[in-house]
């Protein structure tokens, strides 16, 4: 009888744990620019000016590279890559609306990179720092911009092929926790245009799976 009770309590505990899994909502949109993204060519993940000095960039770049590899692209150096996959991300205090579609094709390859990804260049607007319950909120944003490096130059316009924009509103500033989910949401629309932002729902456990698979 005691053994049966122990098993029952254990099952109840597991069910309660599963029921308490935190849901993470990510709004994602995709925009094609100058033609289709060519399949199975070489690429390199590059930072925009906003994040190039961030010590965490290599870890986030690895998430993007993993998605590109899964799609059949081959990672190489900036000198030989056909595609440049620019990555920008930021956390802002306050709520924000879904990412706005930017019509800015960008200036040159220097400075802030193609289309000035990140920050206000992506339609981010500061909102109230507290929600209706009085708790402080934060908006995470991650943007992936794919450009044709072979057709772009340091002095001329960037040939942008596709842009994926994602946002997440959270009560935590832990961007590292949601970054894998935001990358996942962005790449679910890789190479395509969405008429509006698409809402994706994950759990925090979903974000841990890619890292666990990598460590095996």
Indicate the number of domains in the chain.
1
Q: Which two tokens stand for residue 42?
A: 């070489």
pLDDT in tens, 22-57: 889 999 999 998 889 999 999 999 999 999 999 999
Q: Would residue 3 count as lying in a domain?
A: no
Q: Would residue 7 count as lying in a domain?
A: no
Q: Which residues of 47-57 are buried (b: 16+ CB within 10 A; e: fewer)?
A: bbebbeeeeeb
Q: Specify the CATH number for the domain of residue 195.
A: 3.30.160.670
Q: Would residue 188 count as lying in a domain?
A: yes
pTM: 0.73
Q: Would residue 96 count as lying in a domain?
A: yes
Are 85 and 121 contacting, i.e. CB atoms less than 8 angstroms apart? no
Torsion of CA 199, 46, 61, 127, to 10 degrees: -40
Residue 4's SS3 state is helix
- Which range among 1-5, 52-56, 101-105, 148-152 has the greatest average pLDDT? 52-56
Residue 148 is part of which domain span? 22-215
Are 94 and 120 contacting, i.e. CB atoms less than 8 angstroms apart? no
For position 193, what pLDDT does the model report?
Answer: 96
Q: Would residue 125 count as lying in a domain?
A: yes
Are 147 and 84 contacting, i.e. CB atoms less than 8 angstroms apart? yes
């Amino acid at each position: 009888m005691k053994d049966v009770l122990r098993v029952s309590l254990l099952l109840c505990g597991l069910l309660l744990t599963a029921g308490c899994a935190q849901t993470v909502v990510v709004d994602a949109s995709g925009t094609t620019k100058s033609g289709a993204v060519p399949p199975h060519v070489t690429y390199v993940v590059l930072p925009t000016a906003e994040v190039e000095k961030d010590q965490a960039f290599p870890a986030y770049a690895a998430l993007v590279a993993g998605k590109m590899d899964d799609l059949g692209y081959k990672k190489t150096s900036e000198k030989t890559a056909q595609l440049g996959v620019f990555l920008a991300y930021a956390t802002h205090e306050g709520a924000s609306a879904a990412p706005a579609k930017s019509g800015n094709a960008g200036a040159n390859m220097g400075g802030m990179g193609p289309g000035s990804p990140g920050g206000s260049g992506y339609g981010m607007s500061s909102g109230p720092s507290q929600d209706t319950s009085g708790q402080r909120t934060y908006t995470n944003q991650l943007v992936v911009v794919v450009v044709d490096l072979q057709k772009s130059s340091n002095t001329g316009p960037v040939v942008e092929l596709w842009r994926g924009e994602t946002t997440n509103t959270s009560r935590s500033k832990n961007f590292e926790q949601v970054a894998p989910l935001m990358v996942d949401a962005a790449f679910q629309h890789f190479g395509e245009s969405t008429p509006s932002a698409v809402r994706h729902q994950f759990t925090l456990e979903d974000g841990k799976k890619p890292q666990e698979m990598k460590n095996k």
